[in-house]
Amino acid sequence: MASPRETNLAAHTDSQAHNESDRSVRQYSDLDLFFGKTKASKDVGRVFDIQAVKRSVRNLVLTNHYEKPFHPEIGSGVRDVLFENMTPTTAHILTRKIEMVIENYEPRARLISVSAFPNLDRNEYECTIKFYVVNTPTELVDLTVFLERLR
């Protein structure tokens, strides 16, 4: 038989994952920016917890300065680096820019590591970002973003 502490912990974890009550543990939610409709209300869907933070991190990495209205300071500036020659120094600068934007503007993510690997054949960088979401500190999130210049 499970101890009362284990039962309480299991109930807490279960309520965190599935309960949308105001009294439950904080649950992060964002709009689904792919604009998928919900079946019941035909409204724009929402994404929750880990998926919401992953989308936010991805959007921060892909945002340039002055793109966000009324907040010109928010942005990573990685597109500026993509037009430089592919060298280890450029990959390091790209890594530092990604680290800075996540640490400064995404308080829901606890950053572990960022790595950028140049793919010379496709003229792109494969950026791997590893972090923990503050509400779920036991699950390591691995996000891969491909960065390439468009012009």
pLDDT tens-digit map of 124-138: 999 999 999 988 888
Q: Which helix (H) or strand (E) holds 31?
A: strand 29-31
> How confident is the model at residue 41, as a pLDDT?
76
Domain contains 91: yes
Query: What is the C-alpha separation between 87 and 144, in angstroms, rounded?
Result: 20
Domain contains 61: yes
Domain contains 20: no
> How confident is the model at residue 45, as a pLDDT?
72
- CATH number, residue 112: 3.10.450.40
> How confident is the model at residue 18, as a pLDDT?
43
Domains contained in the chain, number? 1
Domain contains 49: yes
- Kindly give the parts of the chain with pLDDT less than 70: 1-26, 29-35, 151
Domain contains 36: yes
> How confident is the model at residue 137, as a pLDDT?
81
What six digits make up the tokens of 151?
């012009």
Amino acid identity at 148: E
> How confident is the model at residue 150, as a pLDDT?
79
